[in-house]
Amino acid sequence: MSCGSIKPAVVILSLVLLGSVFLQVSYSQGPNVTTSTTDPKYEAARDQFLKVWDTLTFHPIVALFVNESAELGNGVYQEHSNVFNPDETITLYAQPVGYGHKEITGQNGEKLFLMNFTADIILTRQDGTLVGGGTNLPAGQIASHYRNTEVFLHLFLTHDKPLPKGDYTVNYSVTDQFSGNTFKITKDLKVV
């Protein structure tokens, strides 16, 4: 649901493009796919890591404004200040940890792990007056052969008309649909 002339968009980004949603594909997880061999030391370390992962609180380890860029990747961004032009897209990069995975069966009978996020993005003037945004926005689903632990989100705010100059607050709320846990990010910004 969106309100006002602000158009929120949530995109999970990665190496594979499917329609309008990018999916995170971790190149560093699981056995070597080309030879189907495993490294026992790697597997033992990964198992230990996942035990710790399952105890983590769902939260972002990175959450900052970034420049729009054609180069997208986990940890690949150019930081943007909190000062924007009236017609500029407001983009937040967030890298969550501690999210859940749901084991599912793929269409070919293979075991897959599903991750699913939604987001609320609300833009207000600093006095609390609602400017626009959206709630319960589908952020996309990621189905992977491995329990990915490196996912990132780009949360976009675009607008039909230039924003009036002034001070604003953006409240982001991201929910992991499988654990039910939510984290909140509040960012102040200035339009000049």
- State which H helix or E strand residue 45 sits in: helix 40-53
Q: Which two tokens stand for residue 80?
A: 């943007």
Beta strands in the chain (DSSP E): 2-4, 6-13, 16-18, 21-23, 59-65, 83-84, 90-97, 102-105, 111-125, 130-144, 152-159, 166-176, 182-191
When mean pLDDT is compared across 16-25, 54-63, 73-82, 116-125, the lowest value belongs to: 16-25
Provide the pLDDT confidence category of residue 68 given band limits of 50, 70 and 90. Answer: confident
Q: Is the pLDDT of residue 106 over 60?
A: yes
Q: Is the pLDDT of residue 141 over 90?
A: no
In CATH, what is the architecture of 2-191?
A: Distorted Sandwich (2.70)
Q: Mean pLDDT, to the nearest integer, of 133-153? A: 88
Give residue limits of the domains in the chain: 2-191
Output the average pLDDT for the chain: 83
Q: Mean pLDDT, to the nearest integer, of 79-86? A: 96
Phi, then psi, of 62 in degrees rounded to 5: -140, 135
Structure confidence at residue 49 (pLDDT): 96
Count how many Cα atoms sit within 13 Å of the Cα of residue 24 in the half-sphere of its side chain.
29
**Cα→Cα distances 49→29, 86, 93, 145, 153, Å:** 11, 44, 24, 17, 22
Taken in order 69, 18, 133, 56, the sign of the CA dihedral is negative
Cα gap 78→80, rounded to integer Å: 6
Q: Is the pLDDT of residue 79 over 70?
A: yes
Instruction: Specify the amino acid at residue 39.
Output: D
CB-based contact 167:188 (threshold 8 Å): yes
